[in-house]
Amino acid sequence: MNEGIERDYLGGWAVAAKELGRIARLTPKDYSDSSSRGLQSARFDAESQLKQLEWDRLYDFCERLYNHLPEDRIRWYNNEEIVVSKVEAQAFFAEEMQLLFEEESLGYEFRDGLVQRRGKRHTIEQTSKAEKVLADQKLNAARTHFSKALRYFHDRKKTDHENTVKEAVCAVEAAAKTLFPEAKATTLGDFVSWATDNKRSLFPKTIGQTFNGLYGFRNSGEGVAHGAASGGVVTAELSEYILGIAASQIILLVDVARDDEEPPF
């Protein structure tokens, strides 16, 4: 942050100190910008709060530092006006925070202005593609479930693996029902039976088994649904795997429904 202030990407230590104090729920404090003592006090308070804040609140500050604190600024050098844009400042802070997260081997990354749980590259790519196809208004129900799955997966305080699985599979089920109303399916299992019927064959029965596998785990995994306790523990690895597979299945369903139209990504 010190370098960002030196580059005039942020309006001084007072801005940082006030925001950190707000996040820590401290009594608001004013700092004099015209005295060295005021600037020193602001820097001291900011650095102290950075050391004392709980880690999840530090992530809140990272997001605020990127999204709300920078602003377009003007400075003068050799009688020449230099504009420091908010976009330039945001790019700097995003790069520096991501580098810091990597150096500290944290399980999170700074992406799209948010601190997010780090996922495997394949998971990130597939969920991003799924979000794009789910932008279709008619897929609102599926999008709601998928967004919940992502929130549970990325929760910084406590990743909810069970609800990640539940909502991801619900998103697949909702997408199938919406895209293929003629199936008159009440469950994902009903849809798979309809889709893999020999008269229809939207996709092979072996592929249908992958849908049934996820649906079966959603109904039997410990803590996922119906109080099940015999289907296996939902680990971090399993929840990420199922989230990625669910994303791929949603993309497949959209592609099949479009009769080989080009996907929107």
Concatenate the DSSP letters of all residues of 147-202 into one string: HHHHHHHH-SS---HHHHHHHHHHHHHHHHHHH-GGG--SSHHHHHHHHT-TTT-S
Q: What is the pLDDT tens value at each position of the chain, 265 positions in all?
A: 888 888 888 888 999 999 999 999 999 898 887 788 888 999 999 999 999 988 888 889 999 999 999 888 887 777 788 888 999 999 999 999 988 888 877 767 887 888 877 667 788 889 989 999 999 999 999 999 999 999 898 876 677 888 999 999 999 999 999 999 999 999 999 999 999 997 878 889 999 999 999 988 887 655 455 455 555 678 888 889 999 999 999 999 999 998 645 555 5
Residues 211, 94 contacting (CB under 8 angstroms): no
Which residues, in sequence order, are CB contacts of 182 under 8 Å at separation 6+?
A: none
Which residues, in sequence order, are CB contacts of 156 under 8 Å at separation 6+?
A: 56, 59, 108, 115, 117
Q: How much is the pLDDT for 120?
A: 73
d(CA 249, CA 126): 10
Which residues, in sequence order, are CB contacts of 125 under 8 Å at separation 6+?
A: none
d(CA 162, CA 17): 38
Q: How much is the pLDDT for 230?
A: 55
Q: How much is the pLDDT for 164?
A: 92
Q: How much is the pLDDT for 107?
A: 67
Q: How much is the pLDDT for 225?
A: 57
Match 């700092």 to its residue by tokens: 31
d(CA 158, CA 152): 8
CA distances from 25 to 29, 216, 227 (A): 11, 46, 39
Closest CA to 246 of 181, 150, 183, 171: 171
How many degrees, rounded to 5, is the angle at CA 36 between CA 30 and CA 37? Answer: 55
Q: How much is the pLDDT for 260?
A: 45
